[in-house]
Chains A and B, each alone.
Chain A
Amino acid sequence: MSAIADFVMATFTAPENIRTNPQSMLWLLPLVAAIAAAYKATKLPTITAGVFLKEVAILFGSIIAFVVITALVLYALAWLIAL
């Protein structure tokens, strides 16, 4: 039991090895899911599994779509400036 506890504690005392590359942007996805779930938990008048999941999925998709559009616009601007 102590060895398991030590192992769990050790995972929280040393950082993970995450490199600065485009793939590291995927860490955005779980965070957006958490934001969507917590926000909808406070906003829905009554919570049922079906309605909650649907609303969270819509908000998650909306945020990701907005992020993608913003990224494309910024990429296009950077491309135009570099011309």
Chain B
Amino acid sequence: MASLSKENHVLFLLIVGLLGWFLPGAGHLLLKEKKRALIIFATITLTFCVGLYVGSVGVIDPVGAKPWYVAQIMNSPLVAVLGHLTAGGGFPVYGRPNEIGQIYTGVAGLLNLLCIINAVYLAHLHRIELAGD
């Protein structure tokens, strides 16, 4: 019984993490942290969109800028769809717009990674509190 409960707990943490990755803030929303979820969603989505606006979708480059792509894909798995679209080099971007676009989209992804870790940690704490009651 205890083993099953532990498995459920791990599964719940996994679901929280995956939800937070699929949609920024969704992990916190699952934990009924509505304000946090809204702030995280608005901040990360806006930062990512500003990056795409400045540098175009060409800043998502899984071939020529792999380290940036790793950070960008932390925003959402949907970034992989954009990466597939731009992999052929159809959206060339150079110079300062490329730098700013990559920095914005990359930092948005890393912020989302921070939020995913925070959501999983909060889910773990909630569980411990429930077990303590």
Contact = CB atoms under 8 A, between A and B. Distances in A.
Q: Do A and B bind each other?
A: yes
Interface of A: 11-20, 24, 27, 30-31, 34-35, 37-39, 41-42, 47, 52
Interface residues of B, number: 32
A-side binding surface: helix, strand, loop or mixed? Answer: helix
A37 B25 CA distance: 13
Interface in B15-66: 35-36, 39-40, 43-44, 46-47, 50, 52-58
B30 to A, nearest CB: 15
B98 interface: yes
Contacts of A31: 47, 103-104, 107
A30 to B, nearest CB: 7
B108 interface: yes
Contact of A42 (B91, B100, B114): B114
B-side binding surface: helix, strand, loop or mixed? Answer: helix
A54 B35 CA distance: 16
B24 to A, nearest CB: 9
B96 A18 contact: yes
Contact of B39 (A12, A15, A19, A37): A37
A15 B98 contact: yes
Nearest to A15: B97
Interface of B: 35-36, 39-40, 43-44, 46-47, 50, 52-58, 91, 93, 95-98, 100-101, 103-104, 107-108, 111, 114-115, 118
Contacts of B40: 38, 41-42
Nearest to A47: B35
Contacts of A15: 54-56, 58, 93, 97-98, 101
A70 to B, nearest CB: 17
A79 B44 CA distance: 39
B100 A24 contact: yes
Contacts of B35: 47
